[in-house]
Chain A
Amino acid sequence: MAGTMPGSSDWAWAGRERAEALLRQINEQAARRPGSLTTGVGSLQLANPVLTASGTYGFGREYAPLVPPAALGAITTKCVTLEVRQGNPSPRVTETPAGMLNSIGLQNPGVDEFLRTELPWLRDSGATVVVNIAAATVSDYARLTARLADAAGIGGLEINVSCPNVEREGMAFGVSPSATAAVIAAVRRETSLPVICKLTPNVTDIAEIAMAAEAAGADSISLINTLLGMVIDVETRRPVIANTFAGLSGPAIRPVAVRMVWQVRQAVRVPVIGMGGIASATDALEFILAGASAVAVGSACFANPLLPLEVIAGIGEYLERCNLTMAEAIGLAHKR
């Protein structure tokens, strides 16, 4: 029905000139200082350290009119589950001071549809693809991994351990070191792809969870997922978000995220991917200096679709100005 009505992705016109200028700048930097932006997450080599945060970027299609998927370090996809998920009732999002709450409910077409329609498109776009996955049981994580393990065009898997574990009264896997380890070990057995464990910040000791994931075979740790929050409408006297609780993202959470990346960097040897409220290259550099080998931009892209390109170019500028390579910059703030 919607197809019969007028509409398009005409919105991208305004940013195209600026996008092209940024891409030129990125290419010129790469030519001047070859390899200075390259980084790695386990065996996954990235041309630059800027990824997209899962759930904020779909499967890359919507932003593609402005940001070529191949220009990113990698696209981390919207979470994929074994079965199709319709997601949560509305309202699902609301703005908060310097951020927003979301409770989407992992809406996604399911792994079969992902493999049939989204992955081929991503592969054709030339993107490096990290597939974010979630499940409600350890064995479902394993089954999902097995479905993805042999598909062409996947650079790595990011394991969302923030979802409720139905075998433990709905407690999130990621708040328990042993449950996190069980998920990662199960995934590890099914694939030789780089396995990235995405941690929830809603824990007492983030380092303990990171170490458990590393010991179970994770090639990398990414953090942070959203902080659990809520907003109440004082006129209706009800929670604004239909699901009551929701995940807080945006610049409001950045200092928490930087602190946790710092702690995890000290606790594990595997590379760390930092995210949480990045809205500029300077923000991204905080994470890199705190110990992140790569970063992800998330909800700030909603206001500024050009953000991924601005962050790549801005990191390049900084490294050139400081005569550093990406490899040298990682964790520099730990040195005194």
Chain B
Amino acid sequence: MLTREELCADTVYLTIAAPAIAAVASAGQFVQVGVGSAEATDPFLRRPISLADIDPAAGTIGLVIRAIGRGTRRLLVLPAGAKIDLLGPVGHGFPADLKGRVLLVGGGVGAAPLLPLAAQLAAPAAAQAVGGAGAVFLVGARTRPELWGAMLGARAGAQCVVSTDDGSAGHHGLVTDLVKAQLAAGPIDAICACGPLPMMRAVAVLAAAADVPCYVSLEQRMGCGIGACLGCAWPRSANAGGGYARVCVDGPVFAATEVVL
């Protein structure tokens, strides 16, 4: 770990030297983070954490760690300089060929996996290619201090619009209100969303009504993280063949129409 930055209560942003991962990773992929020592078997499983930054030139990745249990709490208190055991990159990320006006919709800690995409779409080459149409990063949180997604997004050059549940910053209301406003303001080419399930469900409904392709990044309790254990099953929609998809390797990013939200 190179740097450790406190974002808000129980949430830190870590920069980690991981050149092999940074060289091949794409936006929306994740890493399986070890939370015990090599010998320790408690906590037992790795923790899937989305890549919040991918910098192949610097050979670094960024991770947003929000402490929600005993595993993530261990990661939260690690000091800069600590060695972190990573397995990755894992999973399928966002489509590589997104262009035009793209809405990125992040709710709470769900802003994290959208950050590399926001950075990629804000890069001068990408912005030029789409004739300045660009991407808009819509970030929703409960309160102002939890809007770190917008802070990190702006740092990466993304155009950000925010909402809070309590009105302490930006739009007073849901991030889905911002999606409605954007859809009303002009044509949108794609929507990428990550956040609480009700939020993603609402965004998918709005996207479908506007006939805009929508991609969601899902979270599920996970065992191996590489597709072997079938622990992280998510129901696939009937028109995508039914049954279950594996969030770890078939996702975590899915077309919203492919899964049951």
At the interface, yes or no: B221 with Cβ under 8 Å from chain A? yes
Asked if A2 and B227 sit within 8 Å, CB to CB, the answer is no
B interface: dominant SS: loop
At the interface, yes or no: B95 with Cβ under 8 Å from chain A? yes
At the interface, yes or no: A57 with Cβ under 8 Å from chain B? yes
**Complexed CA–CA distance, A63 and B229 (Å):** 11
At the interface, yes or no: A293 with Cβ under 8 Å from chain B? no
Asked if B234 and A11 sit within 8 Å, CB to CB, the answer is no
At the interface, yes or no: B45 with Cβ under 8 Å from chain A? yes
Q: Which of B123-131, B168-176, B250-258 lies at the interface with chain A?
A: B250-258
Chain A 87-110 interface mask (CB, 8 Å, partner B; 1/0): 111111111111110101001000
**Complexed CA–CA distance, A325 and B88 (Å):** 38
Known contacts A2-B250, A94-B221, A302-B46; A11 and B89 CB within 8 A of each other: yes
**Complexed CA–CA distance, A99 and B45 (Å):** 8
Asked if B233 and A90 sit within 8 Å, CB to CB, the answer is yes
Closest to A57 in B: B228
Asked if B45 and A11 sit within 8 Å, CB to CB, the answer is no
Asked if A63 and B228 sit within 8 Å, CB to CB, the answer is yes
Neighbour of A251 across the interface among B38, B44, B224, CB < 8 A: B44
At the interface, yes or no: B24 with Cβ under 8 Å from chain A? yes
At the interface, yes or no: A42 with Cβ under 8 Å from chain B? no
At the interface, yes or no: A9 with Cβ under 8 Å from chain B? yes
At the interface, yes or no: B34 with Cβ under 8 Å from chain A? yes
At the interface, yes or no: A170 with Cβ under 8 Å from chain B? no
**Complexed CA–CA distance, A289 and B91 (Å):** 40
Report the count of interface residues on A (CB-CB < 8 A).
49
At the interface, yes or no: B87 with Cβ under 8 Å from chain A? yes
At the interface, yes or no: A260 with Cβ under 8 Å from chain B? no
What B residues does A87 contact at CB under 8 A?
A: 230, 233, 244
Chain B 25-68 interface mask (CB, 8 Å, partner A; 1/0): 11011001010101101111110000000000000000000000
Neighbour of A7 across the interface among B20, B87, B93, B245, CB < 8 A: B93
**Complexed CA–CA distance, A2 and B231 (Å):** 18
What B residues does A301 contact at CB under 8 A?
A: 224, 228
Asked if A102 and B229 sit within 8 Å, CB to CB, the answer is yes
Asked if A95 and B89 sit within 8 Å, CB to CB, the answer is no
Asked if A98 and B44 sit within 8 Å, CB to CB, the answer is yes
Asked if A100 and B93 sit within 8 Å, CB to CB, the answer is no
Asked if B93 and A98 sit within 8 Å, CB to CB, the answer is no
Select the residue from B46, B87, B228 with max chain A CB neighbours within 10 A. B228
Asked if A5 and B96 sit within 8 Å, CB to CB, the answer is yes
Residues of chain B in range 91-149 having any CB-CB distance to chain A below 8 Å: 91-96
Neighbour of B227 across the interface among A15, A62, A303, CB < 8 A: A62
Closest to A301 in B: B224
Asked if A97 and B255 sit within 8 Å, CB to CB, the answer is no
Q: Shortest beta-carbon distance, A7 to chain B, in Å?
A: 3
Q: Shortest beta-carbon distance, A72 to chain B, in Å?
A: 14
Asked if A7 and B232 sit within 8 Å, CB to CB, the answer is no
What A residues does B235 contact at CB under 8 A?
A: 89-90
Given contacts A5-B93, A5-B94, A98-B41, 16 further A-B contacts (CB under 8 A): A1-B254, A2-B251, A7-B92, A7-B93, A13-B20, A14-B20, A14-B86, A62-B224, A63-B226, A87-B244, A91-B221, A92-B230, A95-B43, A107-B230, A299-B44, A302-B46
A residues neighboring B (CB under 8 Å): 1-2, 4-11, 13-15, 55-58, 62-63, 78, 86-100, 102, 104, 107, 250-251, 279-280, 299-305
List the 7 closest A-B pairs by CB distance, nearest first.
Answer: A7-B92, A93-B231, A58-B228, A6-B26, A62-B228, A98-B42, A302-B224
What are 6 A-B contacts with C-beta separation under 8 Å?
A5-B94, A10-B25, A87-B233, A92-B221, A92-B230, A305-B226
